[in-house]
Amino acid sequence: MARQGQISAILKSLHDASPAGFAIALHVKFTAPRYLFQSYAKDWLDTYSRLGLVLHDPTVGWAFQNVGTTRWSDLAADDPRGVLEQAARHGLKFGTVIALVRNGSRTMASFARSDRESTDDEVAALKRDLEDLHDQTRTIEHLSPSVHETLKQMSIYLTHG
């Protein structure tokens, strides 16, 4: 049960550090994550889904092809469909993408802000938290009801793969 509490604490830290929301895909196999956490505003999630933007999102493409971190602003030139511009119209103006592979499992995430770019120290903290979340969920198959309640309180949507 201690691990479930750690998972909740990590998600709270990531949520607090991403005022405009995030999407975290944990332990991706082929193209499907074991867990998908999203805290973006519902109108953006609905638009993103309705328009099938995942297929054109440069942050997703980068995360599948790389390991490390990058800012959304560094991906703007590789966005012919204007996904990042549409995100900005929904308040997601600045963002960071993090992709990692540990113990043979890939995790990728995108963290957004509406006010400014994240600092290098903030990006490093996001990466540490994401690595910890990846490790804490590597062997866990189901999240406890208390974690689900924490997610609900933080307006984080969970999709279980």
Tens-place pLDDT, residues 36-75: 999 999 999 999 999 999 999 999 999 999 999 999 999 9
Q: Which CATH fold topology does 2-160 show? A: Beta-Lactamase (3.30.450)
Residue 161 has pLDDT above 70, yes or no: no
- Residue 132: in which H helix or E strand, if any? helix 120-137
pTM (whole model) above 0.75? yes
Query: For the chain, what is the largest distance between any 2 Cα atoms, rounded to a whole number of angstroms?
Result: 46
Residue 30 has pLDDT above 90, yes or no: no
Average pLDDT, the chain: 92
Pairing of strands 94-102, 68-71: antiparallel
When pLDDT is averaged across residues 20-48 and rounded to a whole number, the result is 93
Which pLDDT value is given to residue 160?
56
| Three-state DSSP state, 35 | strand
**Residue with tokens 């996001």, as numbered in its chain:** 126
